[in-house]
A = this chain, B = another copy of it.
């Protein structure tokens, strides 16, 4: 994958142009496949193993926050670990076996080991009658309970009077684990990329987000960066709340942000705007999608979804949107064993990855300028700016773009807004602006 290249001091624009979708897709799907079997939850060794694997790809700072720590309105819960679980018949055959799918145990199940009647067992079983071959995904983080998730066919096959149930788990004081990867740029201003790492063998939600975030961090390590980029690998809800609580003093650094989830299925790209609705990241992602040549959907913010709920709570109101393909709850495989390695596709993963890079490129290059000769048009011909570009069509577009940038650069509009108003592509507008700036015709108005 292009990320491992060693072109010193290349620009992100060059990197975007050089993305090899096939290579990227293969790499992303491969990483998902490696992480798939690990039994993750909101705490525990599954998260640690996952972060260890990611740490082989990118520089990762792993944090442990002790059980009982108060974080905003919440408290870090006890740590949960699981080694084994099964339902055995009285002959000792493991008829439901955690070793075959870690979805079989309800996450945060308390330990249990005993003989139960079929009736009692039934109260601890979860299945999906409408999808008889799929295992559902269930959790009980904040209520002590135990349970098994089984396919409807498995449930139907449980006809004996009694079974042995075993859940070899521990729920004890320990820590919540999360990790950060910070790529420092010229500015302390940050782009935040967040994904959740608490789901076990589920691919679209959210190994896809983990893989794309890892690839982005790997890729961004190389080119010049105006912004610093901070990648967060956190358990959902409690993880982002923990990070926010521990970093409250520095949140003003977050200039743009993106939650990555469900970015691997075959559906069109969906972008859910930040609570602000017209943050620069919202306008930039809308521009990237509008010029992608593909179908896409823009959603207004709603307080339902992933960690953007926390970043966009009213006391923080960070400019953080959420990139998805098919949103959670709109694909039937959501939160079931059918969200597997077949549901996520290399080309969809690569496309999500490339769109994020394009977003970052737009953000990196977006500026608000002041025309230094605002009275009348400057004489472009004298500066050779009418001949600055190659082909006729190109020349006319760049000439128009130069006039648009000059006319609109009164300090009130950034290049993205000028691109939108002129109906020209961001690329054309940004190139024209660079040319004008190089000739002293533009000054940066503000960061």
Which chain A residues numbered 330 to 362 have a C-beta less than 8 Å away from chain B? none
Chain B residues in 8 Å Cβ range of A381: 142-143
Contact A404 B374 (CB under 8 A): no
Chain B residues in 8 Å Cβ range of A275: 407
A373 to B378 Cα, complex, angstroms: 53
Judge whether A194 is part of the interface by a CB distance below 8 angstroms. Answer: no
Contact B377 A73 (CB under 8 A): yes
Judge whether A100 is part of the interface by a CB distance below 8 angstroms. Answer: no
Judge whether A270 is part of the interface by a CB distance below 8 angstroms. Answer: no
Given A303-B406, A382-B142: A377 and B244 interface contact (C-beta under 8 Å): no
Contact A314 B374 (CB under 8 A): yes
Judge whether A410 is part of the interface by a CB distance below 8 angstroms. Answer: yes
Q: Mark A38-52, 1 if CB is under 8 A from B, else 0.
A: 000000000000000
Judge whether A302 is part of the interface by a CB distance below 8 angstroms. Answer: yes
Chain B residues in 8 Å Cβ range of A376: 72-74, 240-241, 244-245, 310, 313, 315-316
- What distance in Å separates the Cβ of A383 from its nearest Cβ neighbour in chain B? 10
* Interface-centre pick from A73, A248, A374 (highest chain B CB count, 10 A): A73
Contact B422 A302 (CB under 8 A): yes
Judge whether A208 is part of the interface by a CB distance below 8 angstroms. Answer: no
Judge whether A408 is part of the interface by a CB distance below 8 angstroms. Answer: yes
Contact B407 A375 (CB under 8 A): no
A33 to B378 Cα, complex, angstroms: 35
Given A303-B403, A304-B400, A422-B302: A313 and B377 interface contact (C-beta under 8 Å): yes
Judge whether A181 is part of the interface by a CB distance below 8 angstroms. Answer: no
A196 to B380 Cα, complex, angstroms: 21
Chain B residues in 8 Å Cβ range of A316: 374-376
A404 to B241 Cα, complex, angstroms: 18
A–B Cβ pairs within 8 angstroms, 13 of them: A73-B375, A73-B379, A237-B377, A241-B376, A303-B400, A303-B406, A303-B407, A304-B400, A313-B371, A313-B374, A314-B408, A314-B410, A315-B371
Starting from the known contacts A73-B376, A303-B404, A309-B403, 17 additional A-B residue pairs (CB-CB under 8 Å) come to A72-B376, A73-B378, A142-B382, A143-B381, A241-B377, A244-B375, A245-B376, A302-B422, A303-B377, A303-B400, A309-B377, A310-B376, A313-B371, A313-B375, A314-B371, A314-B407, A315-B374
